[in-house]
């Protein structure tokens, strides 16, 4: 029998923090992606399955309808552009912030004041471009796919734009936050066609997610 609903999640914080929302909708994921290494996970409801994809790929799976709905960070959605996606709910999970950071001792404020052209390494090229353009800061952006904290330490860049949660990774690498760009949390994203064609199945889940996510509101 063909399954009716596919939910796209990424491993780690988003998966862990989506579980209580699924629980509120009566859905239990019956295998752990960390131990099973499976990419398609069954749930207690034979009509609902979870697929495990890279965080930055969640919008793509949902956009093309390979997943009916998914959970993606605001950072990922801004970089993707959100085409073909309905974004009904901020789930208030996987909260962190997007920030500019530099090596301790680098005088960022003075460099900006003097109109220096800064090299900035980041995975978030769109967000970074908009941020610095709005501030009138001249930057050369270097696209990286991870371990951004390394870039200033080895002379690849003057600054990074990255997500900061506890601040532990910055501290461990002798970096300091110099600007907050925006708060980040994860949103529910729904394929626009699925919303129409599978509304009956989706609607109660969306409502349960919305109710449960209100509890995450500070």
Give min distance, CB of 171 to ligand PRP, in A: 8
Q: Which stretch binds ligand PRP (CB under 6 A): 99-107, 132-140, 161-169, 205-213?
A: 161-169
Q: Tokens representing 24?
A: 């509120």
Q: Which stretch binds ligand PRP (CB under 6 A): 75-83, 128-136, 158-166, 204-212?
A: 158-166
Order of strands across the sheet that contains 5-9: 40-42, 48-52, 5-9, 69-73, 175-191, 85-103, 159-164, 118-122, 139-143
φ, ψ at 136 (rounded to 5°): 70, 25
Give min distance, CB of 115 to ligand PRP, in A: 29
Identify which of residues 22 and 148 has a Cβ nearer to ligand PRP in the complex: 148
E runs forming strands in 20-168: 40-42, 48-52, 69-73, 85-103, 118-122, 139-143, 159-164
Give min distance, CB of 168 to ligand PRP, in A: 4
Write each residue from 109 to 148 as x if it is in contact with ligand PRP (CB under 6 A), else as -, in one continuous string. -------------------------------------x--
Distance CA 61, CA 35 (A): 23
Figure out which of the listed residues 42, 82, 84, 167 binds ligand PRP, where binding follows CB under 6 A.
167
Distance CA 183, CA 165 (A): 10
Identify which of residues 173 and 216 has a Cβ nearer to ligand PRP in the complex: 173
In the complex, the residues that contact ligand PRP under the rule CB under 6 A are: 146, 162-169
């Amino acid at each position: 029998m063909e399954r009716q609903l596919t939910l796209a999640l990424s491993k780690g914080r988003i998966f862990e923090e989506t579980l209580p929302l699924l629980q509120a909708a009566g859905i239990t994921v019956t295998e752990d992606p960390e131990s099973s290494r499976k990419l398609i996970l069954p749930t207690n409801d034979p009509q609902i399955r979870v697929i495990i994809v890279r965080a930055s790929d969640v919008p793509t799976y949902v956009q093309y309808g390979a997943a009916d709905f998914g959970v993606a960070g605001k950072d990922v959605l801004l970089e993707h552009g959100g085409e073909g996606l309905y974004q009904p709910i901020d789930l208030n999970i996987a909260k962190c912030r997007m920030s500019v950071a530099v090596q301790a001792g680098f005088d960022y404020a003075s460099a900006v004041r003097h109109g220096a052209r800064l090299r900035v390494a980041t995975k978030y090229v769109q967000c970074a471009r908009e941020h610095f353009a709005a501030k009138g800061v001249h930057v050369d952006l270097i696209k990286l796919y991870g371990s951004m904290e390394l870039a200033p330490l080895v002379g690849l860049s003057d600054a990074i734009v990255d997500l900061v949660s506890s601040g532990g990774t910055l501290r461990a690498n002798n970096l300091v936050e110099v600007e907050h760009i925006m708060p980040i949390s994860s949103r529910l994203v729904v394929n626009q066609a699925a919303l129409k064609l599978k509304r009956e199945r989706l609607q109660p889940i969306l409502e349960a997610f919305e109710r449960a996510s209100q509890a995450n509101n500070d």
